[in-house]
Amino acid sequence: MVGILDFLYRELTTFRGGWHAWYLLALQDVKGRYRRSVIGPFWITLTSMFFVLGLGLVYSRLLNLDLKEYLPFLACGIIVWTFIVTLVTEGASAIIGSGHIIKQVNMPIFVHLMRVVFRNIIIFLHSYIILVPLLMWYGYLTLYGFAVSVLGIGMIVFSLTPLVALLAILCARYRDVLPMISSGMQLLFFVTPVMWHPNQVAGLESVIKYNFFVYLIDLVRKPMLNGYWPMNSAILVAVIGVALWICAFFALYLNRKNIPYWL
């Protein structure tokens, strides 16, 4: 019991006194990716804007939908989904990618995980900002909706961070799991209401009901579009998030001595 508490305290220092380590590493990753670029990370903003506009114009005609209703729905879905999928796929390889550091420096494992999480948060925010003028243009955005959507983003990070930790441990031990995760996220994209409304596809009610990522998207999309907080989705995500945190710390504790030998 003492060993578990000591390990838990050591890992939690990642968020209390050791945050500057993953904060600076994540900033360095973003700066390195766009070094010598004129507008830097704002290429993410432009890319997201043109992608959403192009996709919205095409699919609104294919699905015979009003662009005023479909484009905001699509923009929220695509931007949040992109954040989720990049966080999960890059986070799954976080331990493998930091293997050279883990084998040489004795640091909490969550430092390497939070490095990836915070890096993706920075990248996501560069896409998230295009939702503000877009939804204001179409008359959807309210101050309350924007505020609670930020809370929704926080809950997404809260629930996905331990999931990333579990996947990172699994991928460090079994390298074949990483491409399986990438393929699985591609499949989930087609059964998640990112580009289509749930009421447009009959027969997928059970798939949508048991799809955890649907509730994550709702935490941002419903406040932004409808101006209300999806309490049921928030409770579900919070409960699953707490359970994932317990599992993540337990898995890290059991495998703390094996991880360096897997890399």
pTM of the model: 0.90
Which spans in 174-230 are helix H?
Answer: 177-190, 205-209, 212-226
Please name which of 150, 129, 157 lies closest in space to residue 15, comparing C-alpha atoms: 157
CA separation for the pair 65, 168 (Å, rounded):
40
pLDDT in tens, 196-220: 887 776 666 777 888 899 999 999 9
Please name which of 123, 156, 98 lies closest in space to residue 48, comparing C-alpha atoms: 123
- Dihedral (Cα; 85, 86, 87, 93), 10-degree rounding: 110
Read off the tokens for 163: 């999931």
pLDDT at 2 over 60: no
Is residue 2 classed exposed, middle or buried when 0-12, 13-18 and 19+ CB atoms within 10 A define those classes?
exposed
- Sign of the Cα pseudo-torsion (68, 123, 92, 109, in order): negative
pLDDT reported for residue 22: 79
pLDDT in tens, 40-90: 667 777 787 888 888 888 877 877 778 888 888 988 999 999 999 999 999
Q: What is the mean pLDDT of residues 4-29?
A: 74
How many domains, in total, are found in the chain? 1
pLDDT in tens, 138-168: 888 888 888 999 999 999 999 999 999 999 9
The whole domain housing 102 covers 2-262
Which amino acid is located at 2 in the chain? V
Contact between 95 and 172 under an 8 Å Cβ cutoff? The reply is yes
pLDDT at 248 over 60: yes
